[in-house]
């Protein structure tokens, strides 16, 4: 896997990024199992030096090179400064990563990355790591996970949109934004709009109007309007809903990522995928988008209303 070697075969994979608690490690575990069941040889690479509990089978672990607790203790740094140092140390030791990955040729890669937003919005260390992987003929897509509970708060959702856009522009990889933990979304309260409004990022002026109903945010309406204009002018941000316990949802995300990084699977994997999905939802399975998730959400909301009415 020599640098810039055009003769070496292509390698495909995902870099899984996002803020703390968004479900990156859980996603890697679920995707590793899902892809393995359809015949894809999957390798998980842990690039998070703070990750000391990994449910998945990890073939490459940055802890062999450096760990966050050691950096914090020896250099007297906090967790944020320590993570930045760790990523800069990884950038300075590309040969270690190259050697580890060279022993795993022919696999599909899942890179589990740290949960520090600054690393994806304006710091260059991880961006340079991804660029180096591209020179080694890796074709990667960034899977940016965002907790779906932000949809229940218009102010937080606008913030998430800004962060997602900034990440897309800075990381410079084909990008798939994912709303994670969709199975828990009803726990955060009723959404102001249908789910597809949030996944497709439709006319955001309605969100600004809804936000203005709050006396606190009414004073910042002009600022929110300008933020929304920036998001809509780029017209880049949209989301794929994800429930890792739902095979249909996993397939939707997988297909979005495969389209983003250019991966094309063979007939055997296609047959395995169809067999897996048929066993999950019946032989006449047809792929659906956010409608199925929306239906489940509406049903849960109707059930909650009925239970509340019965209590009264």
pLDDT of residue 277: 72
pLDDT of residue 81: 95
Cβ partners under 8 Å of residue 301, min gap 6: 186, 190
Spatial strand order in the sheet of 108-112: 58-61, 42-46, 108-112, 11-17, 138-147, 175-180, 240-241
Q: Would you list the domain boundaries of the chain?
A: 11-201+237-300, 208-236
Q: Which residues pair with 110 in a beta bridge?
A: 14, 44
pLDDT of residue 253: 96
Instruction: Please tell me the distance from the alpha carbon of residue 96 to that of residue 65, in angstroms, as a whole number.
Output: 8
Q: What is the pLDDT of residues 215-249, one digit of tens each?
A: 888 888 999 999 999 999 999 999 999 999 999 99
Maximum distance among all Cα pairs of the chain, rounded to whole angstroms: 71
Which CATH code, of 3.30.460.80, 3.30.70.60, 3.40.50.300, 1.10.287.110, is assigned to 11-201+237-300? 3.40.50.300
For residue 88, which of 69, 68, 103, 109 has the smallest C-alpha distance?
68
pLDDT of residue 7: 43
Phi-psi region of 76 (alpha: psi -120 to 50; beta: other; left: phi over 0): left
Residue 44's φ and ψ, nearest 5 degrees, are -100, 130
Q: To 5 degrees, how large is the angle CA 97–CA 118–CA 100?
A: 5
pLDDT of residue 200: 93
Distances (CA, A) of 42 to 36, 103, 215, 259, 308: 6, 13, 50, 18, 46
Residue 176 structure tokens? 């798939």
Instruction: Please tell me the distance from the alpha carbon of residue 302 to that of residue 296, in angstroms, as a whole number.
Output: 10
**R_g of the chain, CA atoms, integer Å:** 21
pLDDT of residue 275: 74
Residue 202 burial by CB count (10 A; 0-12/13-18/19+): exposed, middle or buried?
Answer: middle
pLDDT of residue 272: 74
pTM of the predicted protein model = 0.84
pLDDT of residue 286: 39
Instruction: Please tell me the distance from the alpha carbon of residue 220 to that of residue 208, in angstroms, as a whole number.
Output: 10
Question: Helix or strand or coil: residue 12?
Answer: strand
pLDDT of residue 296: 62
Instruction: Please tell me the distance from the alpha carbon of residue 54 to that of residue 25, in angstroms, as a whole number.
Output: 7
pLDDT of residue 187: 81
Q: Which portions of the chain are predicted below pLDDT 50?
A: 1-7, 282-289
């Amino acid at each position: 896997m020599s640098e810039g070697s055009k003769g070496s075969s292509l390698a495909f994979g995902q870099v899984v990024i996002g803020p703390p608690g968004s479900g990156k490690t859980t996603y890697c575990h679920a995707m590793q199992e899902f892809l393995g069941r359809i015949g894809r040889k999957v390798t998980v690479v842990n690039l998070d030096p703070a990750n000391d509990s990994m449910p998945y089978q990890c073939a490459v672990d940055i802890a062999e090179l450096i760990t966050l607790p050691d950096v914090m203790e020896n250099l007297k740094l906090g967790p944020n400064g320590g993570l930045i140092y760790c990523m800069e140390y990884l950038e300075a030791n590309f040969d270690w990563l190259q050697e580890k990955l060279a022993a795993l040729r022919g696999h599909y890669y899942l890179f589990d990355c740290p949960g520090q937003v600054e690393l994806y919005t304006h710091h260059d260390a991880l961006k340079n790591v991804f660029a180096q992987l591209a020179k080694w003929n890796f074709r990667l897509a960034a899977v940016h996970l965002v907790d779906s509970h932000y949809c229940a708060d218009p102010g937080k959702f606008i913030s998430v949109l800004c962060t997602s856009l900034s990440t897309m522009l800075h990381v410079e990889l084909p990008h798939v934004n994912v709303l994670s933990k969709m199975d828990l979304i009803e726990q955060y309260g009723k959404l102001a709009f249908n789910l597809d409004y949030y996944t497709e990022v439709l006319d955001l002026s309605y969100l600004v109007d809804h936000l203005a109903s709050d006396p606190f945010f009414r004073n910042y309406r002009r600022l929110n309007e300008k933020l929304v204009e920036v998001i809509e002018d780029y017209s880049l941000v949209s989301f794929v809903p994800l429930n890792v316990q739902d095979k249909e949802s996993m397939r939707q995300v997988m297909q979005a990522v495969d389209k983003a990084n250019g991966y094309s699977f063979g007939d055997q994997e296609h047959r395995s995928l169809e067999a897996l999905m048929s066993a999950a939802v019946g032989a006449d399975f047809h792929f659906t988008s956010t409608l199925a998730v929306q239906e489940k959400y509406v049903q849960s909301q109707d059930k909650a209303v009925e239970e509340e009415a019965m209590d009264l």
